[in-house]
Amino acid sequence: ATTIYLKDYQVPDFLIDRTALHFEIFDSHTLVHSTLAMRRNPAAKNASAPLVLDGCELELEALSIDDQAVTESGYESAGESLTIHTVPDSFTLRCTTRIYPQNNTSLEGLYKSSTMYCTQCEAEGFRKITYFLDRPDVMSVYTVTVDADSKRCPVLLSNGNLVSTETLEGGRHRAVWEDPHKKPAYLFALVAGDLERVSDTFTTMNGRKVDLHIYVEEKDLDKCDHAMLSLKNAMTWDEEVYGREYDLDIFNIVAVDDFNMGAMENKSLNIFNTSCVLASPGTTTDAGFQRVEGVVAHEYFHNWSGNRVTCRDWFQLSLKEGFTVFRDAEFSADMGSRVVKRVEDVGLLRTAQFAEDAGPMAHPVRPDSYMEISNFYTVTIYEKGAEVVRMIHTLLGPELFRKGSDLYFDRFDGQAVTCEDFVKAMEDASGMDLGQFRLWYSQAGTPQVDARGEYDAEANTYTLTFKQSCPKTPGQPQKEPFHIPIAMGLLGDAGALRLELKGEAPNPDTADNTHTVLHLKQAEQQFVFENVPEKPVPSLLRGFSAPVKLQFDYSRDELLFLMQHDDDGFNRWEAAQQLGVLALKELVAAHQNNEVRALDERLITAGRNLLNDDSLDLAMVALMLTLPTEAYMAEVMQPVDVLSIHAARMQARLELATALKEEFTNTYRTLSRRQGDYQPSAEQIAQRSLKNLCLQYLMLLNDEHSLQVCMEQLDTSDNMTDRIAALVALVNSEHEPQKALALQKFYQDWQHEPLVINQWFQIQATSHLPGTLKRVQELLNHPAFEIRNPNKVRAVIGAFCGQNAVNFHQTDGAGYRFLADRVIELNTLNPQIASRLLGPLSKWRKYLPEQQALMKAELERIAAEPKLSRDVFEVVSKSLA
């Protein structure tokens, strides 16, 4: 496979001003007639370059230029391109391709999902539909005509406005859509099928009335309200926070069962995985409701950050994704609980993204090269990209950041641009020098920041010394220091201390001056605070102000102090986490040495205080009572001893459950009484999260009373959050007969709800008990399992390999073998999904030597397969390099 480099970027040789597509959808095949108004790009390097079109797995039926057929000697087709040697400077290209959506299992291009036809073109799927310049800097206006059977496909949709409909002969009909906004091919979409819709309207800030429709299968009509509400909230929020208004009279969302990702932001025709749009209290958990809200908003926000202003090339992917994730995270924070949202996002970043940054696929937020762009829809591009935008927001402050985003949208509306253009707009609007800051886009790896503090009681000064470094990553042996914003404060016995930074005028913006942002720019740098009346405890990296690993040698009592007194909610949680890390590390070491050691009493006392204090936010209590996850422990202890980490965490949880049984029981009882109907509100979600955490702890006690409580919750709950929580607790317990019966009954009750059955699959695949691999293998043969449906693959295979460390890493290597077999199977069916599943194997170098050897052997077995897709080849070859 060939590698594509950012440094080789060249402007396109040709432009496409207008694109007219005519789809004729038949049961056996689809014909695509395309008419392209093309001309040479005046900015092209080579004024006589041949026309090279992208096309993949297409049957070409007709090809003409200015109505002159291009004969076989006039073009050459090889690999994924078609070259026409001589063309005029300006011309009309027509071509007809024949494609087979019903055989398209890659779910890229035009494909069939149960009875409906739909498209997924980002990043390079359009070339599976017709020959085109399939690159985001070629933008065109589209007219799309769709013909299909009236009965089987009563609904025909594409981007933009519906301009006409027509009844055709032979029981067929036609719809014509026109999108007035120029767009790259990756934002093209088409849907044809038997769908019903839920409708609403939204009036924009300038009085434009927009029709909103959500298209679903008839049986799901009752699960659209939350998505519709989220969409309207997102539209309002983008007007209020970014001044961005919607720009067409119609906005459509379509729900599809078979979808590789969460959703897709096609211009005015967003296509969604059913899992990210459908929600109802009976079938959807709180987390599911929040995912719908977040993804609906994310795709809507792309209308500006992605569609109106798009990417010049795919190396700039984070330009739209990082920015849009930052936007959706802030939206969700405003809709629900800001601290909880931040804790969840940082949890993902510090496990998945930090691991990616430390593994063979590590890449900068703006990569320098790739083999297969689909492999770069990563937590680095999305989540770290969002952190980079967040840091700009922190450095500039909200007003200047808004000035910068206004300038960015004004300056580049209708254009395909780069990350550099974004940063430059932020710089121009704010006057801040972001020169060194740009390294966040070009350097991969997670910076390590070591900090220490020294109090001088004579001089009343407190000196913070920071040292930063960044480990090497593939292709980047050495790194320059980053510009790291460190949000911080100092805490004294009586509360937050006023900050007087030596050499800096006091900041007039903050009245109380107890919070500031330090600019760490050098490899080693000191900050001296003056007039500090007592030895403070520093609160550093508040709100996780930079995606770094911060090390500060807090004593355990200092951590307890921060847990109670920090003004920053995120850092109160972080102090609890760090205390948990210290305690768990101790237990891991004991386990490795076959010693018996008790959990640090401080955790038990802290837990008791949290449960007994009614003044606290329930969500915070739940978060602070959750020990660091195994995934996070794996990040802070290398090599990773999966089994010892699991054993240590289980022991700690059991000790907490035993010591705090009474508190957990009382809290559970109090929180079980809910007022009113189920609502996915922050307040109720907080209640349920703490209640269900109590249930989980109680179920560890393995006693009759807890079992009874759990069974009652399972049988009598009116919502899926509580049912799933009870089922998870039961499945991970040793109550064998009850467990089997409950799983059976749950299946019977919900077998007609695929999204609920996915949860049922996932709960079984993530059980930490022995024998899970065998159960997972049985589930692959379950009638409800389908290897071609990505949600099912993720629920069973993805969940087992990615969220069940103790079983995936079982010592005989059977988990690794299982994954390799599935990757080989999916490699031909759906390369994107196959490649994504490989994640856990690719990080083999983190584990103990015996495990490394077994994992590597499986990667080598995959590498030896004769026909590897580009997707799988890239991950396997880089993992073994």
602 vs 80: CA distance, rounded Å: 62
What CA–CA distances, in Å, run from 651 to 720, 793, 830?
Answer: 29, 32, 41
Q: How far is the CB of 123 from ligand B3K (least distance, A)?
A: 5
CA-based end-to-end distance of the chain: 15
**Residue at 297: amino acid letter:** A
Closest CA to 30 of 259, 255, 192: 192
122 binds, among Zn ion, ligand B3K, none (CB under 5 to 8 A by kind): ligand B3K
635 binds, among Zn ion, ligand B3K, none (CB under 5 to 8 A by kind): none
Q: What is the DSSP letter of 781?
A: T
Q: How far is the CB of 142 from ligand B3K (least distance, A)?
A: 18
List interacting residues with ligand B3K (CB under 6 A).
Answer: 122-123, 261, 263-265, 298-299, 302, 321, 374, 377
**Catalytic residue check, 454:** no
Q: Select 383 or 600, whichever has its Cβ closest to ligand B3K.
A: 383
300 binds, among ligand B3K, Zn ion, none (CB under 5 to 8 A by kind): none
329 binds, among Zn ion, ligand B3K, none (CB under 5 to 8 A by kind): none
Q: Select 374 or 851, whichever has its Cβ closest to Zn ion.
A: 374
Q: How far is the CB of 189 from Zn ion (least distance, A)?
A: 15
316 vs 367: CA distance, rounded Å: 8
Q: Select 385 or 447, whichever has its Cβ closest to ligand B3K.
A: 385
Q: Select 321 or 871, whichever has its Cβ closest to Zn ion.
A: 321
Buried b (16+ CB within 10 A) or exposed e, 580-618: bbbbbbbbbebbeeeeeeebbeebbebbeebbeeeebbb
Closest CA to 96 of 138, 63, 133, 71: 63
Find the catalytic residue in 24, 124, 265, 299: 299
Q: Select 324 or 830, whichever has its Cβ closest to Zn ion.
A: 324
Q: How far is CA 141 from the centre of its chain?
A: 30
Do residues 287 and 759 lie in contact, with contact meaning Cβ atoms separated by under 8 Å?
Answer: no
123 binds, among ligand B3K, Zn ion, none (CB under 5 to 8 A by kind): ligand B3K
Q: Select 265 or 600, whichever has its Cβ closest to ligand B3K.
A: 265
Binding span for Zn ion by CB under 5 A among 314-322, 329-337, 671-679, 826-834: 314-322
Q: How far is the CB of 836 from ligand B3K (least distance, A)?
A: 10
847 vs 879: CA distance, rounded Å: 14
Do residues 196 and 204 lie in contact, with contact meaning Cβ atoms separated by under 8 Å?
Answer: no
How many chain residues touch Zn ion (CB under 5 A)? 2
User: Which H or E run contains 822?
Assistant: helix 814-829
Site string for Zn ion, 324-343 (x = CB under 5 A): x-------------------
Beta partners for residue 203, in sequence order = 209
Q: Select 723 or 836, whichever has its Cβ closest to ligand B3K.
A: 836
Strands (E), 150-262: 155-158, 161-168, 172-184, 190-193, 196-203, 209-216, 250-256
Q: How far is the CB of 32 from ligand B3K (least distance, A)?
A: 20
| Pairs from 212-215 (Cβ < 8 Å, separation ≥ 24) | 212/251, 212/253, 213/250, 213/251, 213/252, 213/253, 214/252, 214/253, 214/254, 214/255, 214/277, 215/155, 215/157, 215/191, 215/252, 215/253, 215/254, 215/255
Q: How far is the CB of 708 from Zn ion (least distance, A)?
A: 45
Q: Which two tokens stand for residue 178?
A: 């026109």
Q: How far is the CB of 14 from ligand B3K (least distance, A)?
A: 25
Q: Which two tokens stand for residue 745?
A: 């009954």
Q: How far is the CB of 733 from ligand B3K (least distance, A)?
A: 38
Residue 414 half-sphere exposure toward CB, CA atoms < 13 A: 7
817 vs 828: CA distance, rounded Å: 18
Beta partners for residue 526, in sequence order = 465
For 477, other C-beta atoms within 10 Å of its C-beta total 7
Q: Select 299 or 330, whichever has its Cβ closest to ligand B3K.
A: 299
Residues in contact with Zn ion by CB under 5 A are 321, 324
Active-site residues, by number, are: 299
